[in-house]
Amino acid sequence: MNNLSTYLIISALLFSLGLQGILLRRNLIGMLISVELLLNAANLNFMAFNRFLNADPVAGQVIALFVMGLAAAEAAIGLSIILALFRTMHSINIERAQKLRG
């Protein structure tokens, strides 16, 4: 259990599931949830590399903390965008938000 590859594979699995969610979901909140999954997969990678490879064990943890902070910021902004979108379009279906259509 305690080797790098296990963690990396778990992280890849989480990431792929998150991708699947992002690519499939029509619901913006659902996409946001999937993005959280992606971030966590990346975080898991950081922590695993920190545990098994890195010279200074503090660095990886600090980076993980920063990623969490960024994720929180991202969640706040994402959710407010969802609210704004819901107000203007009365829907959060991503397939209807096509104003950028070429």
Give residues 29-88 in contact with another protein (rule: CB under 8 A): 29-30, 32-34, 36-37, 40, 43-44, 47-48, 50-59, 61-62, 64-66, 68-77, 79-84, 86-88
Size of the site for another protein (CB under 8 A): 82
Q: Is 15 in the site for another protein (CB under 8 A)?
A: yes
Please state, as a whole number, how many other Cβ atoms lie within 10 Å of the Cβ of residue 7. 18
Q: Which pairs from 70-74 meet CB under 8 Å and 24+ separation?
A: 70/39, 71/36, 71/39, 74/35, 74/39
User: What is the rounded CA–CA span in Å between residue 47 and residue 41?
Assistant: 10
CB of 18 to another protein, least distance (A): 7
> Which among 81, 39, 88, 84 has a CA at the least distance from the CA of 64?
39
Contact assessment for residue 52 and residue 3, using Cβ atoms and an 8 Å cutoff: yes
CB of 68 to another protein, least distance (A): 5
CB of 3 to another protein, least distance (A): 9
